[in-house]
C-alpha cells in the first residue's frame, strides 16, 4: 500500500469522525429534549458512519500489514499530524458518548424510582378504597 492511499484513508477517517461528531451533537440535543423518534434516526445514522469507519480501519490494517517496518515508521512520521487529528476527534466523541450514557442512566434511575413510588402508592391506596358492599343479614324484602 502506498503512502498516498494511506493518507486518503486517514483523511476519509477524519471526515467520517467529523460526521460522527455532528451526529453526537444531535444525539445530545435529542436526549435533552426527550425526543425518542429523532434519537432512533440519529442512532441509525451513527451506526452507518461507524460501519464505514470500521471498513476503513480493516482496509488500512490489511495494507499496513504488508509494509516493511522501515516504510511503516517513515509513513507514520509523515502522517503524524493526521494521527493527532484523529486522536483528538475520537477523544471528543468518547467524551460526548460518556456524557450521553450518564444522562440516560440518570433518566433510567429516575424512571425506576417513579415506578417504585407508583407501585407503593397503589398498595397504600388499597386500604382507602371503596369498601366492600355490606350484605344484610336478613334476607327477603325489607
Q: Spell out the per-residue pLDDT of the chain, length 142, in tens.
A: 688 899 999 999 999 999 999 999 999 999 889 888 898 999 999 999 999 999 999 999 998 888 888 998 899 899 999 999 999 999 999 999 999 999 889 888 888 888 777 766 666 556 555 555 566 566 555 5
24 to 2, 14, 39, 80, 81: CA distances (angstroms)? 33, 15, 10, 26, 24
CATH topology of domain 3-122: Methane Monooxygenase Hydroxylase; Chain G, domain 1 (1.20.58)
Domain ranges of the chain: 3-122
For the whole prediction, is pTM greater than 0.75?
no
Amino acid at each position: 500500500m502506498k503512502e498516498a492511499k494511506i493518507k486518503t484513508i486517514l483523511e476519509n477517517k477524519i471526515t467520517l469522525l467529523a460526521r460522527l461528531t455532528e451526529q453526537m451533537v444531535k444525539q445530545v440535543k435529542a436526549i435533552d429534549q426527550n425526543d425518542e423518534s429523532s434519537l432512533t434516526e440519529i442512532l441509525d445514522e451513527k451506526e452507518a458512519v461507524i460501519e464505514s469507519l470500521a471498513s476503513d480501519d480493516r482496509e488500512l490494517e490489511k495494507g499496513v500489514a504488508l509494509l516493511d517496518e522501515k516504510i511503516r515508521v517513515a509513513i507514520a512520521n509523515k502522517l503524524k499530524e493526521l494521527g493527532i487529528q484523529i486522536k483528538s476527534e475520537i477523544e471528543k466523541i468518547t467524551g460526548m458518548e460518556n456524557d450521553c450514557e450518564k444522562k440516560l442512566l440518570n433518566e433510567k434511575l429516575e424512571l425506576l424510582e417513579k415506578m417504585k413510588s407508583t407501585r407503593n402508592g397503589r398498595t397504600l391506596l388499597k386500604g382507602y378504597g371503596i369498601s366492600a358492599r355490606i350484605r344484610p343479614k336478613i334476607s327477603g324484602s325489607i
